[in-house]
């Protein structure tokens, strides 16, 4: 498989201008330019505030997810956050766990073993989580391909709820 590298032409004048204006190094300036971040967007990119975030309720079924988390908190259910072992997964776990713990909510995390479990959700991990009486598993950065595993987790939940 041949891969073709694409190398951007650098505009040294623009890099220097942005570097000085925003007091950042030239490497970061060139990355901003290569990502096609317009100059009027650079300040927000470098110093975002909550007002700059997208509305999370634009995501499908966010209201259902929030309601389920609130119900778990109210019922003092055991909660676990499941994320991948890559930088996105670990960061996602850390941000959500910190947010919940800052509000006094006890929560655990699960990161699959890279060599033994691979990427994404897996049935043995789901079994272990269920065995340890977690009632809510929140997945972060697991992609959308784990449909079979989600159905499996829901079947365990439904089985346990009917007992």
Please report the DSSP string for 97-118 in residue order.
HHHHHHTT---EEE---TTTT-
The runs of H, that is alpha helices, within 23-137 are 26-34, 39-46, 62-74, 87-102, 123-131
The torsion angle over the Cα atoms of residues 81, 85, 86 and 92, rounded to 10 degrees, is 10
3-state secondary structure of 79: strand
- In tens, the pLDDT along 85-143 reads 889 999 999 999 999 999 999 999 999 988 887 778 899 999 999 999 999 999 998 77
Please say whether the beta carbons of 120 and 143 come within 8 A.
yes
Please say whether the beta carbons of 104 and 119 come within 8 A.
no
Q: How many angstroms separate the CA atoms of 154 and 146, rounded?
A: 12
Residue extents of the structural domains in the chain? 12-52, 56-162
Q: How many angstroms separate the CA atoms of 134 and 7, rounded?
A: 48
- In tens, the pLDDT along 64-89 reads 999 999 999 999 999 999 998 889 99
pTM as predicted: 0.73
Has domain 56-162 been given CATH number 1.10.238.10? no
Distances (CA, A) of 31 to 41, 54, 121: 14, 23, 33
User: What token pair was written down for 110?
Assistant: 């699960």
pLDDT for the residue numbered 1 = 67
């Amino acid at each position: 498989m041949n891969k073709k590298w694409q190398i951007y032409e650098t505009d040294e004048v623009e890099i220097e201008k942005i570097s000085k204006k925003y007091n950042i190094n030239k490497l970061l300036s060139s990355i901003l330019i290569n990502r096609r971040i317009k100059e009027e967007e650079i300040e927000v990119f470098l110093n975002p505030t909550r007002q700059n975030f997208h509305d999370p309720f634009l995501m499908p079924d966010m209201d259902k997810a929030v309601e389920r988390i609130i119900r778990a908190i109210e019922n003092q259910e055991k909660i676990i956050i499941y994320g991948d072992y890559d930088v996105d997964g670990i960061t996602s776990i850390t941000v959500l766990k910190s947010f919940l713990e800052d509000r006094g909510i006890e929560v655990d995390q699960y990161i699959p073993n890279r060599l033994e479990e691979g990427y994404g959700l897996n049935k043995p991990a789901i079994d272990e989580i269920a065995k340890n009486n977690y009632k809510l598993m929140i997945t972060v950065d697991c992609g959308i391909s784990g449909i079979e595993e989600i159905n499996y987790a829901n079947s365990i939940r439904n089985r346990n709820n009917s007992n």
